[in-house]
Structure 1
Amino acid sequence: MCFPHRALSSLLSLYYFFSPCCKMEIENETICSSGSSSGGSREYKVVMLGAGGVGKSAMTMQFISHRFPDYHDPTIEDAYKTQVRIDDEPAYLDILDTAGQAEFTAMRDQYMRGGEGFIICYSVTDRQSFQEAAGFKELIYQVRHTYDIPLVLVGNKIDLEQARQVSTEEGLSLAREYTCAFFETSAALRFYVDDVFYGLVREIRKKESMPSLMGKQLKRKDSLWRKLKGSLKKKRENMT
């Protein structure tokens, strides 16, 4: 199914506006979630946020393994690691795929404190998911007490254009409000999936290049992230 020309034009215009450096090189190397980055290379803690069923897990699986899952339970939280090269620099992404249902948000404060960058997802075929996405930045602020957090806003399922309920213009407007990059994607067809993760890493790197207490912040986040991953592991063991 072809990508709608109008949405493609808007997306590319915004992508180049936010991300002038567009060189991307993927290394198809997936690291098991219990491992650690090798050689002391930088590890980026990424959190996927969004309502259940918007395609967070499908996007993650397409990014790390180039495959679309046949089925995924939207109430299950999971974690993945993968190695890529972005602008000729290695990056190890530790991705937390969060559950969308409210009853599975007991660890929400933990992953909002521990995450370094957030991918906020909605489905262009589901207006309710867009309305929920609009509130995530405020939820992050309530935990972190700052709006200066690397974010990427994603409208998924553009392959279902005939069922679209949220226009490209509405997504662009919310991204401007959030002052963040915006992409429309198809996890099913793997359209612009890599761009989302690469764009977020670039935002994190941009923030790190500014003078700050980044070393102390990273050390604190490492501790929070380890506790979170331990809680997630226990939760999964209890469910099996």
Structure 2
Amino acid sequence: MREFNVVVLGAGGVGKSALTVRFVQDIFLETYDPTIEEEYRRVIEVDSVPTSLEVLDTAGAEQFTGLNEVYIKSGRGFVLVFSLTQEASLREVDNLRQQIYQIKGGDTSIPIVIVGTKLDLVSEREVPRSTIQSLVTKWGLPFYETSAKRNMHVLDVFEDLVRQMVIRYPPDSIKKKKRPLLKTCIIM
């Protein structure tokens, strides 16, 4: 089974925890409780390949953004989250994207999915689809509009990321441990 660690990043209050908990536990968190750091596990089958995901839900609060570097160094795939109801949160996604590339040594093949949350809050939407589409086209990254509350496109996000990680991180060639030569001793 393939194993990957995924880091969920974004500004505070954009719905990172709601997205993560919906994916891992299939429940919706009604109340907002700022996260410092939560780690979850889920096995997901994508294209008939079982994959174990360790999902790190991070803090969006300003005082914890210093931890992002630690998370980014250890992450193999990233879900960058903003709220469709909060235009300022989209700018934070671009900052995080650039930070990932910088920390990963300029490598732009890092698996990343851009996620707009709160799709169900149609009347509160601030970010036009056309704005997002032009950004993700420029960045060359996949994008999903989701609703954790209504469970819309949540699984799609993580399936896309798994597909990217499978391509980006092929299984290491099987390294067999060299056993010391055993001299056989025959007792007669």
Could you say which TM-score interval applies, normalised by the shorter chain?
0.7 to 0.9
**Amino acid in the other structure paired with 2:83:** S
Runs of 5+ consecutive residues of structure 1 not aligned to the other structure:
1-40, 217-240
What letter is aligned with 2:163? Answer: R
**Aligned residue for 1:83?**
43
Q: How does 1:62-211 map to 2 (within 5 A)?
A: 62-145=22-105, 146-209=107-170
- List aligned pairs for 1:29-68, cutoff 5 A: 41-68=1-28
Per-residue deviation at 1:215?
4.5
Cα deviation for residue 98 of structure 1 reads: 0.6
* Structure-2 residue corresponding to 1:224: none
Q: Distance in 2 between matches of 1:70 and 1:182?
A: 24
TM-score with structure 1 setting the length:
0.68
Contact 1:58/1:68 (8 A) holds in 2: yes
Q: In percent, how many aligned pairs have the same letter?
A: 40
Q: State the TM-score, normalized to the length of structure 2.
A: 0.86
Give the conservation status (yes or no) of the 8 Å contact 1:137–1:178: no
Q: Measure, in 2, the Cα distance between the counterparts of 1:191 and 1:163.
A: 17
For the residue of structure 1 that corresponds to 2:120, the secondary structure is: helix
CA RMSD of aligned residues (A): 1.6
Which deviates more, 196-205 or 167-176?
167-176
- CA distance in structure 2 between the aligned counterparts of 1:193 and 1:99, rounded to whole angstroms: 20
> Computing the radius of gyration over CA atoms, which structure comes out larger, 1 or 2?
2
For 1:153-196, what per-residue CA distance to the aligned partner results, in whole angstroms no more than 9, with x for missing partners? 11111111111110111111121122111110111111000000
Contact 1:152/1:181 (<8 A) preserved: yes
